[in-house]
């Protein structure tokens, strides 16, 4: 498990941005969830979480940053994660500070990544040993993507995303650029817009990969097509795709220089778009 940065009083975690290198939707289940096959990968940047201990049992959450608006409250997944873990923490509480750098409803697993970061930070803060609890079950109870975000390594996911298998794609350190048109694309409506057609299993090679949610996402946010076309047209791109349910798209590059040049070009041409440059973990 990723170890948090610490000071004598504060545990600090990065909620790493999640991208889906592939997302094959295989079936819609009776319970409304979907059977998927996906490749989760993580970027070396994202939201920031800081936790400090309270001995009175109270849990507080402060949200700051460019995408903080409307995220404070008990329905935040960070608060839900803390509440789920607290019974194992000997009655201790926490003050939690979340710096929200990732856009919301963006296909980056931001809320799930925040919840996972909260779990990783609160375990040592409250002196909880992971082997003494069913951490995987707690993570899954918070959302289908939370177990993958808890590990924050490249994983092959199946089921609703909870069956995870580490994979080595040789892509660690690959330069990546994330771009979002600053338009929300809620996950629920995108999945409901999937046409129900099983287009086949996840193949071994990137050339065989796809994102089956791209078509329904485009119907909700047509600007995603412009983002994808813009990314694919940059020099040095090896793969360009929409992440998750959108609206964020990503491109992998041959070099960091090519990535940085692309970010400069895109930011100048589309100043209203959000971008984040990084590398795959």
Active-site amino acid positions:
18, 145
Residue 17 exposure: Cα atoms within 13 Å on the Cβ side? 31
CA atoms within 13 A on the CB side of 240: 17
Contact 204, 158 (CB under 8 A): no
CA torsion sign, 117 to 120 to 121 to 123?
A: positive
DSSP 186-249: -HHHHHHT----------SSGGG--BTTHHHHHHH-THHHHHHHHHHTSTTEEEEEE-TTSS-E
Strands (E), 55-115: 59-64, 93-99
- DSSP labels for 136-168? HHHHHHH-TTHHHHHH-S-EEEETTTTEEEE--
């Amino acid at each position: 498990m990723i170890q948090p940065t610490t000071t004598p009083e504060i545990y600090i975690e990065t909620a790493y941005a999640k991208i889906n290198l592939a997302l094959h939707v295989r079936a819609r289940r009776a319970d409304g969830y979907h059977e998927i096959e996906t490749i989760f990968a993580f970027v070396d940047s994202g939201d920031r979480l800081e936790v400090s201990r309270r001995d009175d049992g109270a849990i507080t959450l402060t949200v700051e940053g460019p995408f903080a608006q409307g995220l404070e409250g008990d329905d935040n997944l960070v608060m839900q994660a803390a509440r789920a873990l607290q019974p194992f923490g000997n009655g201790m509480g926490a003050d939690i500070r979340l710096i929200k750098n990732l856009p919301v409803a963006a296909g980056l697993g931001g809320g799930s990544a925040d919840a996972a970061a909260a779990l990783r930070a609160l375990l040592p803060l409250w002196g909880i040993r992971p082997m003494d609890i069913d951490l995987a079950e707690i993570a899954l109870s918070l959302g289908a993507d939370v177990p993958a975000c808890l590990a924050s390594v490249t994983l092959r996911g199946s089921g609703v995303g909870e069956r995870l298998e580490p994979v080595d794609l040789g892509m660690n350190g690959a330069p990546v650029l994330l771009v979002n048109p600053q338009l929300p694309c809620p996950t629920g409506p995108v999945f409901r817009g999937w046409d129900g057609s099983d287009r086949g299993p996840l193949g071994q090679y990137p050339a065989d990969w796809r994102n089956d949610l791209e078509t329904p996402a485009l119907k909700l946010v047509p600007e995603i097509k412009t983002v994808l076309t813009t990314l694919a047209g940059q020099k040095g791109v090896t793969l360009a795709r929409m992440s998750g349910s959108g609206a964020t798209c990503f491109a992998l590059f041959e070099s960091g220089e090519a990535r940085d040049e692309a970010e400069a070009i895109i930011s100048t041409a589309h100043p209203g778009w959000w971008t984040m440059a990084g590398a795959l973990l």
